[in-house]
Structure 1
Amino acid sequence: MKKIGFIDYYLDEWHANQYPGWIKEEAARSGRDYTVAYAWAEKDLETGLDTESWCHKHQVERSASIEELVDKSDCIIVLSPDHPEHHERLSRIALESGKPVYIDKTFSPDLQSGIRMFHLAEEHHTPLFSSSALRFSEELTPYSGGRMERSLEYLAVTGPGHYENYAVHQFEMIVSLMGIGANKIKSLSTNNGRLMVVDYADGRRASMHQLQDAPFQASMQWANGDGIFISPCTNFFPGFIHALLEFFETGIPPVPKEETLEIMSMIEAGHRAMANDDIWIAISRK
Structure 2
Amino acid sequence: MMKVGFIDYYLDEWHADHYPGMLKETSRGSMEVGYAYGMIPSPRSGKTSEEWCREHGIQCCETIEEVVEKSDVLMILAPEDAQTHEHLSRKALESGKKTYIDKTFASSKEMAESIFALAESCGTPCYSTSALRYAREYQPYMGRKVQAAAFVGASDYNNYSIHLLEPMLLMMEGEVRRVMALTRGDWAQLLLQWEDGRVGSMLCTGGGTGFTANLLLDRGCEQVEVDSDFFGPFMEGLVRFFETGEVSVPHEETVRVIAVREAGAKAMERPGEWVEVGRGSTGG
Determine if the TM-score, normalized by the shorter chain, exceeds 0.5.
Answer: yes
Aligned residue-pair number:
278
**Match of residue 93, structure 2, among 82, 92, 95:** 95
2:25 corresponds in structure 1 to 25
Check conservation: 1:84, 1:107, Cα contact below 8 A: yes
Identity %: 37
> 1:17-56 to 2 correspondence within 5 Å?
17-28=17-28, 33-45=30-42, 47-56=45-54
Check conservation: 1:180, 1:262, Cα contact below 8 A: no
1:216 corresponds in structure 2 to 211
What's the TM-score, normalizing by structure 2? 0.92
SS at match of 1:140: helix
2:6 corresponds in structure 1 to 6
Distance 1:48 1:212 in 2: 25
Check conservation: 1:36, 1:60, Cα contact below 8 A: yes
Q: 1:5 to 1:192 in 2, by over 3 A?
A: closer
2:230 corresponds in structure 1 to 236
Q: 1:191 to 1:51 in 2, by over 3 A?
A: closer
Code of the aligned partner of 1:266: V
Code of the aligned partner of 1:105: K
What's the TM-score, normalizing by structure 1? 0.92
Check conservation: 1:265, 1:285, Cα contact below 8 A: no
1:137 corresponds in structure 2 to 135
- In the TM superposition, residue 186 of structure 1 has moved relative to its aligned partner by 1.4
Moved over 6 A (4+): none
Code of the aligned partner of 1:218: A
Code of the aligned partner of 2:215: M
SS at match of 1:189: strand
- In the TM superposition, residue 17 of structure 1 has moved relative to its aligned partner by 0.3
Code of the aligned partner of 1:39: A
Q: What are the ranges of 5 or more consecutive residues in structure 2 without an aligned counterpart?
A: none
> 1:1-286 to 2 correspondence within 5 Å?
1-28=1-28, 33-45=30-42, 47-144=45-142, 147-148=143-144, 151-213=145-207, 214-222=209-217, 224-284=218-278
* Residues 23-79 of structure 1: CA deviation (Å, up to 9, x unaligned): 111112xxx711111111112225243212221222211223211211221110001
More off after superposition, 212-221 vs 189-198? 189-198
Code of the aligned partner of 2:231: F
Check conservation: 1:107, 1:131, Cα contact below 8 A: yes
Distance 2:35 2:223 in 1: 42
Computed over aligned residues only, the root mean square deviation of the Cα atoms, in angstroms, reads 1.7
* Residues 91-110 of structure 1: CA deviation (Å, up to 9, x unaligned): 10001111111111111111
- In the TM superposition, residue 285 of structure 1 has moved relative to its aligned partner by 6.8
Distance 2:248 2:10 in 1: 27
Q: 1:280 to 1:233 in 2, by over 3 A?
A: farther
